[in-house]
Structure 1
Amino acid sequence: MKKIIIVLTLILMLVFTTNVIAENENENENENDSFTVNLVMFYGQGCPHCASLRLFLDDQIEKYPSLIVHEYEVYQNNENRILFQEISKKFDVNLGGVPTVFINGKIIEGFSNSLKKQIENEIKICLVKDCGNPLDKGTNDDIHIFNDSSFSILDTKKEISQKLTIPIVISAAAVDAINPCAFAVLIILMTAALSIADKKKALRFGLAFTASIYISYFLIGLGLFSVLQATGLSHRFYIFVTILAVIVGILNIKDYFWYGKGILMEIPLSWRPKLKKILNSVTSPFGAFFVGFAVSLFELPCTGGPYIVILGLLAKEVTKSVGLFYLLLYNFIFVCPLIILLIIIYKGFSNTEKLEKIRKEKIKLLHLISGILMLGIAIVMILSIIYGWV
């Protein structure tokens, strides 16, 4: 009986050992035959959830050597941000935050314990089947989006930046709008127009001129904005324009206390006779429209500072379509005082000499207001760099 028990025990041990060896061989075969797993991750430098996800994926790479993670940073890299937007359109989904992971036809937004499991499950699936390129779009039924309630706070950094952009754009446009240069140019033009035409025709002169200023400034801004985004210099340029904002603010305040000394934040004195000659040569609204383009170049030295600051901000923070809207808004605010001045003249205040006298009396105050607003913008931009909001 004892011999039988011993024999049966030996047989059971042999069977168990054989099964274990077979299982190990199968596992080794599976490991050798596993597919390459491609995972795409969009993240932002400074995003805490993104950092946690990257650490998790580093562990997954050690655990699953066949895993390849393709990383795209979108806060600092404009090309990656554009790619993220294009993929969003391609999949016909609204993707705006990071981190976002693409794997096996799944889009995983955010990062949490539950999403950890989801990501690892997809990795395991792709080890035993070829999941292909995660950015290849299948049918709409193949696309599954996973996220969690914490995702709404993942993009805090960008949300802060976007909230700052609108007031900064409006403030900088206001600085430009109250610039004495533009007032002086329009008053000279209207004086010339009223000397050769009635109020209605003079109004057409002014409207054509204002429209020309709006269009030319918009096109200049759009060109610079496009170049900054295309060259990828937006972050360094943002630092440059922050410094420029400080300088422009200080120079404007200087003009309040020591007007005419040193660098003057207006059209250079040597240019003014030539500019006045051009304005006095206008004889039709059509001519006023084309003169507006030339005048824009004269005005750039005194109006270009705030505009360049805003272009640096927009190139760093927004997409081209959003930037287009901000440029339209900025330039509308910029020409608003000119439109108001035209209405005042048309409605009865035809004494342009008196308007010019008022402008000269208030010119120092205008510089002070411009300087304070510009320094306020500079402070916000400096804080945004220090705290990593941009």
Structure 2
Amino acid sequence: MKSRRELLTPILVTIVLVAAFSVSVASVIGERQSIKFYIYGSTKCLACNLFKTFVKEKFGEDSIVFNELVGNKSNAEVFVSIYDLVFPEVDKSRLAIPLTVVVVDDRVAAVVVGAYVSGDFWSNVLNNSEGILLVDPSGKISRIYNQTIERKLESLIKIPVQADASTHSEADQQTKNILIPVLIAASSDSVNPCTFSVFTALLLLTMYVGGRGRMVLNGLAFISAIYLAYYLLGLGLIKMFAAIPWLKYAVIALGLTVGGYEVFTSLGGKFKSPLPKAFREATSKLIDKASSATTTPLAFAAGLIISFTLLPCSSGPYLVATSLIADLPLAERLALLGIYNLVFIAPLVLILLAMGVAEKKVRKKIKEWRTKHLHILNAIAGGLLILISLWALLV
């Protein structure tokens, strides 16, 4: 018979690993190549807007520093100076926009005239360690090796860099403003009765079939699978909301509807699962397979599939949260997504800890509490979902 200490050790190790994974994803992004596009143009210029859209989709919105030329004498002077420095042969009465200075890892890597969007070209820019790649108004590509020009370009774009610092400050404030609503949404998702019910059923059945040790291992596999599946799903949702911004309002309407339904159905004192019959049957079969799994990978695989069969029941808060996160810079998106999912799995970890060290009487009480109080959890989850949906509507 394994001691409680031996059973707790793998649980605590898993918690640390999951937390480390969340932090490492953001840190890896932070260590990748930094790239900035200093774009000189006008908001009324079609080519400028097309180029901004291309850069946003390929490199992220936080990589853009847009310098409006109309009504801004300082930007206009820098714009002309860049042309004089890099393209002195161009007629000064016909200076094309957008004009973009690309800085990779704090070094000027390219100067581009027009909405040049060739994928191969930008790959060369990212890998360019020597000289400056140029695209002139005719579309001709060349390269110059001139450190004097490079230093002068760096000096010219210092003013936009200072303006960009305030942009970052605004982005940081936006992240802080969104953090609390994201935590509320995660809390709503974490007390979701569907996940609670399925997880406790899995643990109780596994305990009966394979004992406490097998229950702990299968429980850890299940939690890890849910975290991974939901994190990957979140990445896809964020990409979707970033590409189609108006979907946010459809999600808010869905959140209010689902939240209202959860509160209303809980008033009778009973929990009514919103899962379709086919999903409930599929989930039940997967629980049986996971609880009787003789190897941890099988339990992990079952957990991955169960994560998706539970989506009709648990996706409301996640949709609202990811719609809010989608407008943030990439590193912040990944970090908040990791935090959301850590909050989401926290109650599952606590249940596993409790059942891993509890005696038979306590496990019986957990089972009874699960049966009698799911409607309370459902009401709490619904109320929090309504709250976060209303907040999202107002921002």
Q: How far did residue 366 of structure 1 move? A: 1.2
Asked if 1:250 is matched to 2:260, the reply is yes
Q: Quick one: distance in 2 between partners of 1:220 and 1:124? A: 46
Show the counterpart of 2:10: none
Helix, strand or coil at the partner of 1:101: strand
- For residues 210-250 of structure 1, the C-alpha deviation after alignment (integer angstroms, 9 at most, x for no partner) is 11111122222223333444xx21x1111111112211221
What secondary structure does 1:318 align onto?
coil
2:178 paired residue among 152, 160, 165 = 165
Q: Kindly tell me: are residues 122 and 381 of structure 1, through their superposed partners in 2, closer, same or farther at Cα, counting changes over 3 Å?
A: same
Once the two structures are TM-superposed, the CA of residue 325 in structure 1 deviates from its matched residue by 2.5
Query: For residue 302 of structure 1, what is the aligned residue in structure 2?
Result: 313
CA pair 123-217 structure 1, distance change in 2 beyond 3 A: closer
CA distance in 2, matches of 1:239, 1:86: 21
5+ unaligned residues in a row in structure 1: which ranges?
1-37, 44-53, 55-67, 89-94, 104-110, 385-390
Tell me the residue number matched to 2:210: 197
Contact 2:320-2:388 within 8 A present in 1 as well: no
Once residues 320 and 326 of structure 1 are traced to their aligned partners in structure 2, the CA distance between those partners, rounded to angstroms, is 10
Cα deviation, residue 312, structure 1: 2.3
Q: After the TM superposition, which of the residue ranges 239-248 and 158-167 deviates more from structure 2? A: 158-167
Deviation larger for 123-132 or 141-150? 123-132
Q: What are the superposed Cα offsets for residues 272-301 of structure 1, whole Å, 9 maximum, x if unpaired?
A: 455333322323223211111221122111
Q: Tell me which residue corresponds to 1:106.
A: none
**2:56 alignment counterpart:** 81
2:356 aligned residue? 346
State the AA in 2 paired with 1:249.
G
Structure 1 SS opposite 2:318: helix
Describe the SS at the equivalent of 1:200.
helix
Distance 1:191 1:247 in 2: 33
In structure 2, relative to structure 1, the CA distance for the partners of 1:149 and 1:319 (3 Å cut) is closer
Which position in structure 1 is the counterpart of 2:299? 288
- Give the equivalent residue in structure 1 for 2:339: 329
**Bigger CA radius of gyration:** 1
Counterpart AA for 1:176: D
1:34-183 equivalences in 2 (<5 Å): 40-41=40-41, 71-72=48-49, 79-82=54-57, 85=60, 88=63, 100-101=66-67, 116-122=72-78, 126=83, 130=90, 133-135=99-101, 136-137=110-111, 138=132, 140-141=150-151, 142-143=153-154, 144=156, 145-146=158-159, 161-183=174-196
Task: Identify if the C-alpha distance between structure 1 residues 154 and 210 changes in structure 2 by more than 3 Å, giving closer, same or farther.
Answer: closer
Question: TM-score w.r.t. structure 1 length?
Answer: 0.64
C-alpha change, 1:370 and 1:328, in structure 2 (3 Å) is same
TM-score by length of 2: 0.63
* Map of 1:376 onto structure 2: 387
SS in structure 1 of the partner of residue 310 of structure 2: helix
Identity of aligned residues (%): 22
Q: 1:318 to 1:179 in 2, by over 3 A?
A: same
Distance 1:150 1:383 in 2: 28
Q: Please state whether the residue corresponding to 1:40 is helix, strand or coil.
A: strand
Does the CA-based 8 Å contact 1:255-1:265 persist in structure 2? no
- Range 131-140 or range 339-348, more displaced: 131-140
